[in-house]
């Protein structure tokens, strides 16, 4: 597609359930990023994938969070045993490794 | 750790007035600085990107300056319009990560 796409656009789940968020980067982009935007917290970096290199997971807030990128394209962010503080907008971005990152529309996660 | 601050947090102006949004950052070893626009419930739209070697960038009514040594950037929006109402985010790039400010929410009154 023309831009970064994310699904679902909205997700409501119950505390303790697992969720999967999907990101389709721009075709050909080798770098993929996940960010989280929490109310009152601003945007924070979660994880970075670059080609076949080991991902930088330094921003993941706990071991309940994990992400994978299959075939150097689609990425899935998984949150296990969701907590209310996980409620946020999760944004994905991709780039060719150059200066600019292109963002998707985000997934709004609400944990009840 | 890079800290990015945006002032003011919110701004309300009448249509036609010029807007001045400020961004400051603590670590001047940046690759670039990017200004984004975010509309409610939407993702981020890139407005301007300034490389660390540049002093400013312009696009239409938008002009952004960068003073890397002092850790400051300013976004100017000339002759504001109601359609400019949004949240504006400043982000600096160290290595590959972007560090964001909390944003300035702008309301342009018709």
* Residue pLDDT, tens place only, B11-65: 999 999 999 999 999 998 999 999 999 998 788 999 999 999 999 999 999 999 9
Task: Flag whether residue B42 sits within 8 Å of chain A, measured between CB atoms.
Answer: yes
* Residue pLDDT, tens place only, A5-43: 999 999 999 999 999 999 999 999 999 999 999 987 789
pLDDT confidence of residue B61 = 97
Inter-residue contact B64 to B74 (CB < 8 Å):
yes
Kindly tell me if the per-residue pLDDT of B5 is higher than 70.
yes
Mean pLDDT across A42-69: 92
pLDDT confidence of residue A1 = 52
Residue B68 corresponds to which tokens in the numbers above? 């890397």
Task: Flag whether residue B2 sits within 8 Å of chain A, measured between CB atoms.
Answer: no
**Optimal mutation site among A49, A101, A107, interface B, most CBs of chain B within 10 A:** A101
Interface contact B98-A99, CB threshold 8 A = no
pLDDT confidence of residue B101 = 94
From the list B80, B93, B69, the residue with the least C-alpha distance to B21 is: B80
CA distance B9 to chain A (A): 11
A79 pairs with which residues across the strands?
Answer: A19, A65
pLDDT confidence of residue B91 = 95
Task: Flag whether residue B102 sits within 8 Å of chain A, measured between CB atoms.
Answer: yes
């Amino acid at each position: 597609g023309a831009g970064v796409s994310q699904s679902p656009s909205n997700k409501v789940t119950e505390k303790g359930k697992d969720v999967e968020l999907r990101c389709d980067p721009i075709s050909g982009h080798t770098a993929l990023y996940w960010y989280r935007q929490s109310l009152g917290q601003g945007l924070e970096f979660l994880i970075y994938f670059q080609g076949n290199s080991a991902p930088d997971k330094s921003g993941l807030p706990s071991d309940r969070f994990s992400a994978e990128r299959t075939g150097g394209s689609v990425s899935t962010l998984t949150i296990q045993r969701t907590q209310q503080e996980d409620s946020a907008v999760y944004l994905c971005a991709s780039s060719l490794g150059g200066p600019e990152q292109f963002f998707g529309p985000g997934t709004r996660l609400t944990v009840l | 750790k890079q800290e990015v601050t945006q002032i003011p947090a919110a701004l309300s102006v009448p249509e036609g007035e010029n807007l001045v949004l400020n961004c400051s950052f603590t670590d001047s070893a940046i690759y670039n600085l990017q200004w984004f626009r975010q509309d409610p419930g939407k993702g981020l739209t890139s407005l301007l990107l300034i490389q660390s070697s540049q002093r400013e960038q312009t696009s239409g009514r938008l002009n952004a300056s960068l003073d890397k040594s002092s850790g400051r950037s300013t976004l100017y929006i000339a002759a504001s319009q109601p359609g400019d109402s949004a949240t504006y985010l400043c982000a600096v790039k160290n290595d590959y990560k972007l560090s964001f400010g909390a944003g300035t929410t702008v309301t342009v009154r018709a």
